[in-house]
Structures are given as structure tokens and as C-alpha cells.
Amino acid sequence: MMKKKILAAVLAAMCLLVLPFALCACGGGGGGEDKVVVGEGMKEYILEAEYTPVEDKIGGAQSGSASGYSLIMQSSAEGVSNGYFIHNIHMTDCTLEFTFNAERAGTGALYVRMISQWGNTKFTPDNFGIVLNGKEISYSGLQVKGSSDDAPEFVDKVVTQAAEIKQGENKLELIVRENTLNTYTHSTGGPAIDCVKIVTDTGISWDPLTENLDHVGKIEA
């Protein structure tokens, strides 16, 4: 009898020891940040969302319209890369395009730095398409903890460890698909996007549209 009690106590103690590790082993599933790992010989490239073409984009606010340069939001919040991000892309087919050049073909890890204003949200290829060179990346789902545009808590989420990068021009598209994530209108909602990170051993370059920022906060005809 005593032995059984001791055994039970030992088992309980083991559970208490193991439990925190089990809870931490959330990886991409828990809404937390996926650590950007840069292995030996690899380099991290950060492509800011605010430097992609937005002039002709039609988005949508929580309830109302948003388009063009007003999709860029300035933010001094901690963790916002480069002080700006793209928001209000709550419109079916609204697409952000990241065009970059690779010096040779290779593979790369692809991260999207994002938030959701719709509470804890799971982005999947059904509600948020990620397409590289015309090919859909069938990622398993990006769990993002809810936060707001005014107090954004951006997290890097890993989409794939093996994005197929081709030599020369590559085009990465982030596509808001028809969904009901928008909790106010029960229609299409998207994430807010800070930047995209690519970790690869093939050299990448791009032409960031830094002049986008000249238009931010201005009322344009």
C-alpha cells in the first residue's frame, strides 16, 4: 500500500515537472512567436510590408473603407519593424505583393510578421492565401493571438521552412480570401502585416518603395 502511495507521489511530481515543458512545446500552434532561426551560412532578409505597392490597393476597415496609402499605419509600438505596417486589408482578394530577386535558385524559411484584430485567429490557406511564384503554399495554419492596430503585438509566424526560391525574379503574394473573420460585419477580415522575413543561403535583393512613406498621413485627392 505504502509503495503504491509513493509511486503515485513520484508520478505526480514527474507530471508537475513535465507539464511546463508540454505547455511550452506550442511551436506555431499557440499564438506565440516563432523564433527566426538563422543557421550557419544563412542570412535573414526583411521585406517591409509598407514598402510594397499599395497605391492601387482596395482594402477595408473594420466597418468602412480603406485604400491606397491609408493602408499604411505609422506606429511607435514596440516590436513594429521599421515603425510602419499594413492594416485594414479586410477585403476579399486584397493582395500584398513582395517582389524580390534571388541570385540563384534555392530554398528559404518564410516568416510573416502579423497580428489579428479579430481576437485569437487561425489563418489558413482558406482565409489567407500565401502564394510564391503562382504556387500556393499549403501551410498548416498560423495561430495568432488577438491584439489591436493601436497596441499591436506583432509575432513572426513561420509559414514554411522550405519555400522554393527561383533564380531571378520571385513574387510572393499574401492574399486575403473570402471569409467571416471580421467579427463586426461577419464578412472578410485579414491580418495586419508588418513584414516578411526570408532566411536563406541564396542572396536576395529587392527595390523597396520607400517613397510610400511620403504619402502616409496625407489626405490625397
Q: Helix, strand or coil for residue 20?
A: helix
From CA 178, how far away is CA 25, in angstroms rounded? Answer: 32
Q: Which stretch binds Ca ion (CB under 5 A): 26-34, 43-51, 152-160, 197-205?
A: 43-51
What's the closest the beta carbon of residue 45 comes to Ca ion, in angstroms?
14
DSSP 179: -
Query: Can residue 81 be called a binding residue for Ca ion (CB under 5 A)?
Result: yes
What's the closest the beta carbon of residue 51 comes to Ca ion, in angstroms?
8
Using CB under 5 A, which of 75, 88, 194, 198 touches Ca ion? 194
Q: Which stretch binds Ca ion (CB under 5 A): 41-49, 66-74, 135-143, 177-185?
A: 41-49
From CA 36, how far away is CA 102, in angstroms rounded? Answer: 20
Nearer to Ca ion, 124 or 213 (CB): 213
Query: Can residue 112 be called a binding residue for Ca ion (CB under 5 A)?
Result: no
Query: Can residue 155 be called a binding residue for Ca ion (CB under 5 A)?
Result: no
From CA 117, how far away is CA 183, in angstroms rounded? Answer: 9
One-letter amino acid of 23: L
What's the closest the beta carbon of residue 71 comes to Ca ion, in angstroms?
12
Nearer to Ca ion, 47 or 163 (CB): 47
DSSP assignments along 125-168, one per residue: TTTEEEEETTEE-----EEE-B--SSS---EEEEEEEEEEEPSE
Return left, alpha or beta for 96; rule: phi > 0 is left, psi -120 to 50 is alpha, else beta.
Answer: beta
From CA 113, how far away is CA 47, in angstroms rounded? Answer: 10
Using CB under 5 A, which of 195, 198, 199, 204 touches Ca ion? 195
Site string for Ca ion, 82-111 (x = CB under 5 A): x-xx--------------------------
Residues that bind Ca ion (CB under 5 A): 48, 81-82, 84-85, 194-195
